[in-house]
């Protein structure tokens, strides 16, 4: 990897954090270390790659990645642990991790991994940022406006939405207009796209 990357290392082991940080610096990159996710989200990083210790008895990666999004952290994730079982590797990838590294990590192997995921990490970060921004916009909607968006995303007309919500079509129009304004959507398709990007559709 030609560019300098920041790796945010999250591991409860002081020794592991130190060893990985030295390795990252030796490879010409930058490292930030955290004992846990709570410490990381105190000052959420905006760029780089997260290197997270997968400890099912402490936190599951699926919950961690979802929590990161809730704290506006949309960075790509590399999971790691000592001799992970195949099932845990599969679960981590399904949760959104780009790769799973087995500890101890060889420096040359880590360098190759960073090279291999460079483009994917950039695309992942962009997609996660779109998701976070979409969720932020949708969170401004009232419950009724959110219901209108939900039915709109299913292709329902104003009349159909009115029937489902037991309100008048005119009231649906008002909620729909307010919803579009809050989302900054110029067309219903824009609102539906935001819901899909938020992963809420």
| DSSP string for residues in 59-109 | B-HHHHHHHHHHTT----EEEEEES--HHHHHHHHHHT-SEEEEESPPHHH
Residue 1, in any domain of the structure: no
pLDDT of residue 1 exceeding 60, the answer is no
Residue 99: which CATH number?
3.40.50.2300
Question: Is there a single domain that holds both residue 76 and residue 148?
Answer: no
Residue 96 · residue 73 · CB < 8 Å: no
Q: Which of 106, 129, 152 is the last residue of a domain?
A: 129
Find how far residue 66's CA is from the centre of its chain.
Answer: 6
DSSP annotation of 142 reads -
Residue 98 · residue 114 · CB < 8 Å: no
Helix axis angle, 61-70 relative to 107-138, nearest 10°? Answer: 50
Question: Is there a single domain that holds both residue 90 and residue 168?
Answer: no
Q: Which of 103, 129, 155 is the last residue of a domain?
A: 129
Q: Mean pLDDT, the chain, as a whole number?
A: 89
Average pLDDT of span 66-93: 86
pLDDT of residue 91 exceeding 90, the answer is no
pLDDT classification of 70: cutoffs 50, 70, 90: confident
pLDDT classification of 198: cutoffs 50, 70, 90: confident
Residue 87, in any domain of the structure: yes
Residue 134, in any domain of the structure: no
Question: Is there a single domain that holds both residue 80 and residue 145?
Answer: no
Average pLDDT of span 63-90: 86
Count: domains in the chain: 2
Q: Which of 129, 152, 176 is the last residue of a domain?
A: 129
Which helix or strand (DSSP H or E) is residue 32 part of?
strand 30-34
Residue 49, in any domain of the structure: yes
pLDDT of residue 79 exceeding 80, the answer is yes
Question: What's the chain's length in residues?
Answer: 201
Domain that holds residue 157: 141-198
Report the pLDDT value the prediction gives residue 197, as an integer from 0 to 100: 84
Residue 190: which CATH number?
1.10.10.10
Residue 25, in any domain of the structure: yes
Share of the chain above pLDDT 70, in %: 96
Report the pLDDT value the prediction gives residue 135, as an integer from 0 to 100: 87
pLDDT of residue 7 exceeding 70, the answer is yes
Question: Is there a single domain that holds both residue 107 and residue 172?
Answer: no
Residue 50 · residue 6 · CB < 8 Å: no
DSSP annotation of 55 reads B
Question: Is there a single domain that holds both residue 41 and residue 113?
Answer: yes
pLDDT of residue 192 exceeding 60, the answer is yes
pLDDT tens per residue across span 137-161: 999 999 999 999 999 999 999 999 9
| Range from 45-49, 68-72, 179-183 carrying the lowest mean pLDDT | 68-72
């Amino acid at each position: 990897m030609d560019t300098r990357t920041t790796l945010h290392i999250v591991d409860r082991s002081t020794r592991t954090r130190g060893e990985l940080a030295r390795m990252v610096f030796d490879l010409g990159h930058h490292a930030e270390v955290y004992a846990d996710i709570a410490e990381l989200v105190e000052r959420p990083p905006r760029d780089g790659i997260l290197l997270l210790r997968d400890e099912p008895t402490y936190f599951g990666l699926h919950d961690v990645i979802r929590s990161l999004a809730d704290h506006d952290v949309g960075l790509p994730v590399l999971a790691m642990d000592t001799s992970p079982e195949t099932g845990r590797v599969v679960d981590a990838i399904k949760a959104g991790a780009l790769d799973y590294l087995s500890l101890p990590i060889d420096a040359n192997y880590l360098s190759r991994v960073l090279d291999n995921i460079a483009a994917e990490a950039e695309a992942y970060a962009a997609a996660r940022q779109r998701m976070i921004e979409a969720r932020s916009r949708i969170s401004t909607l009232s419950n009724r406006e959110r219901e209108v968006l939900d039915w709109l995303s299913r292709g329902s007309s104003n009349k159909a939405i009115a029937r489902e919500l037991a309100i008048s079509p005119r009231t649906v129009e008002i909620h729909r207009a307010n919803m579009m304004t809050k989302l900054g959507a110029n067309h219903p398709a824009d609102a539906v796209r935001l819901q899909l990007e938020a992963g809420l559709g």
